[in-house]
Amino acid sequence: MADSAQAQKLVYLVTGGCGFLGEHVVRMLLQQEPQLRELRIFDLHLGPWLEELKTGPVQVTAIQGDVTQAHEVAAAVAGAHVVIHTAGLVDVFGKTSPETIHEVNVQGTRNVIEACVQTGTRFLVYTSSMEVVGPNIKGQPFYRGNENTPYEAVHRHPYPCSKALAEQLVLEANGRKVLGGLPLVTCALRPTGIYGEGHQIMRDFYHQGLRLGGRLFRAIPASVEHGRVYVGNVAWMHVLVARELEHRAALMGGQVYFCYDNSPYKSYEDFNMEFLGPCGLRLVGTRPLLPYWLLLFLAALNVLLQWLLRPLLLYAPLLNPYTLAMANTTFTVSTDKARRHFGYEPLFSWEESRTRTIRWVQAVEGSAR
């Protein structure tokens, strides 16, 4: 067994390391990666919590930067053994323009790839998304699908389009020669809907329920199942892939892996109630309270209001035509590819994931009961 100095030799870079998923990846690396000598955290917005990480044995380097700026990315990548690229604009609510989403998610990813090639970094793990596959514009269900399930992955919305393009760039870059002449090894992970400590949308639903007197009103049939995955298990899969990519380059290079765990398949709203119920909220209705045509009308009205109000303020409600279509289309995965290729098993059980998420909602929202 190598002594500690030899063991701690690797430099990792996490882009988007201050985001919902990124923070969990950062903390998981510090807990689970013994070979880490330096951990670089690259983000447009650095969190104050980073300071507490600088007291440990691993050198933690916070880098405030923009993935759309190639020179900033190259400077952060230079000398890294592994890049975990999670930075992105996760916007399905119309908060940013399609151009900006493309600039960050596609050009930003292109900049990360080129930085690896130019500086000699050989291992790149990309955080893709289930949405690269679907739901598609036809609203076709994807039921317990895997990485090889035939499905017409056709999108119009800028976010899934950007994720699909970025994933394609990453996979096509596998095998490119980097500085020094060795091949780049890339891999893309496709999490389903991530939940857990720090999930802003869960927080939004909780606040919406508080405003409505402790109630949320069912809008989607309980039969429409959505795959969800605990953020700690997504972080764990990233750590595992980053560790195994070098030793299993021939098998894993250029591959995609769905990222999910033992979280139950439920409708998006029923699943959220696993956490919001213990925090005092109630989901009203055993079936949707409004007819679908009325939900469509309200969603379209939200788009019109967003456009009219844009000169004055950002109006970005949860309900819009895209989110309604997503929520109303079954999308669940079932695959053992990650286990077969690099031994992935969820680190957190469903019970642990649920308990941790409930505690977070209770603690953050002061709703402990």
- What phi, psi does 202 have (nearest 5°)? -65, -40
Residue 45 contact, options ligand LT3Y6G4Z, ligand NAD, none, Cβ 5-8 Å cut-off depending on partner type: ligand NAD
Phi-psi group of 341: left, alpha or beta (phi > 0 → left; psi -120 to 50 → alpha; rest → beta): alpha
| CB of residue 276 to ligand NAD, shortest distance in Å | 17
| CB of residue 354 to ligand NAD, shortest distance in Å | 17
Distance CA 266, CA 157 (A): 24
Exactly one of 10, 12, 16, 142 binds ligand NAD (CB under 6 A); that residue is 16
288 is a site residue for ligand NAD (CB under 6 A): no
Distance CA 338, CA 259 (A): 8
- DSSP state at residue 184: P
> Residues binding ligand LT3Y6G4Z: what is the number (CB under 6 A)?
18
Distance CA 121, CA 177 (A): 10
Please tell me whether residue 317 adopts helix, strand or coil conformation: coil
Measured in whole angstroms, the distance separating CA 361 from the mean position of its chain's CA atoms is 19
Distance CA 315, CA 326 (A): 20
| CB of residue 24 to ligand LT3Y6G4Z, shortest distance in Å | 15
Distance CA 292, CA 207 (A): 24
159 among known catalytic residues:
yes
Exactly one of 105, 323, 332, 335 binds ligand LT3Y6G4Z (CB under 6 A); that residue is 323
Q: Which residue has the tokens 């439920």?
A: 266
| CB of residue 4 to ligand LT3Y6G4Z, shortest distance in Å | 38
Residue 276 contact, options ligand LT3Y6G4Z, ligand NAD, none, Cβ 5-8 Å cut-off depending on partner type: none
Interface with ligand LT3Y6G4Z by CB under 6 A: which range of 19-27, 124-132, 253-261, 303-311?
124-132
Footprint of ligand NAD (CB under 6 A): 16, 18-22, 43-45, 66-68, 86-90, 104, 108, 127, 129, 163, 191, 193-194
User: So which residues are the catalytic ones?
Assistant: 159
